[in-house]
Chain A
Amino acid sequence: GAVVSQHPSRVICKSGTSVKIECRSLDFQATTMFWYRQFPKQSLMLMATSNEGSKATYEQGVEKDKFLINHASLTLSTLTVTSAHPEDSSFYICSARGTSGRARGQYFGPGTRLTVT
């Protein structure tokens, strides 16, 4: 139990285009999902917290108009990187927080490698 999926696992896009990443909790409901960014050999940097049915809360320094987050249901959150640039190339990881039963705790997806050319 407590499985989180991400799609796509890898994406290459041209500079100026937008990319959408999906995060799904497969076997539990997650009222809260988190989006992280990770550069090589570095720790996870929290970008934003998304709660189902409400606006995401962004961490200081994260541009909310560039990184659009939608938490449409208890099992799905999406991150859209708008007008992507090479400096947005990174490993994006989501996590989902379960609050009951075997899914109590925070579980991470497998990550999405974004490369902007």
Chain B
Amino acid sequence: QQQVKQSPQSLIVQKGGISIINCAYENTAFDYFPWYQQFPGKGPALLIAIRPDVSEKKEGRFTISFNKSAKQFSLHIMDSQPGDSATYFCAASIKNQGGKLIFGQGTELSVKP
């Protein structure tokens, strides 16, 4: 019940296209859903995050769509660029558990020029 399932495992997108990564969860107590971007040999960087009281959040080319009833959330990267090539992790946490994050399995995104 603590799992966060992420798909696809890898994704290839042409430059300018839309990259979509999906995550699903079971535990309805999760109340914070961040996305992290990680480049090889680096730590993850917080990209964007959402709480379950909104259905969508947009920051620049990055959008989170959140479907509370389906217990799913997704990351959309508009106008994907080669510099977006990285591994993306979704995560979830429960406020009263001290911020402990449960990570998805990760998606390796490659944007072709």
Contact = CB atoms under 8 A, between A and B. Distances in A.
State whether these chains interact: yes
A102 B45 CA distance: 15
Interface in A61-117: 91, 93, 95, 97, 105-111, 113
A46 B101 contact: yes
Contacts, number: 52
B41 A109 contact: no
Nearest to A99: B99
Interface range on chain B (Cβ under 8 Å from partner): 20 to 34
Nearest to B43: A108
Contacts of A107: 46
A49 B100 contact: yes
Interface residues of A, number: 23
A34 interface: yes
B100 A44 contact: no
Given A34-B100, A49-B100, A106 B46 contact: yes
A91 B100 CA distance: 19
B82 interface: no
The 8 closest A-B pairs by CB, nearest first: A108-B43, A97-B99, A111-B43, A110-B43, A108-B44, A43-B103, A93-B43, A43-B106
30 contacts: A6-B43, A32-B98, A32-B99, A34-B100, A34-B101, A42-B105, A43-B89, A43-B103, A43-B105, A43-B106, A44-B44, A44-B89, A49-B100, A91-B41, A93-B44, A95-B43, A97-B98, A105-B34, A105-B46, A106-B34, A106-B46, A106-B93, A106-B99, A108-B43, A108-B44, A108-B45, A109-B43, A110-B42, A111-B41, A111-B43
Interface of B: 34, 36, 41-46, 49, 89, 93, 98-101, 103-106, 108
Interface of A: 4, 6, 32, 34, 41-44, 46, 49, 51, 91, 93, 95, 97, 105-111, 113
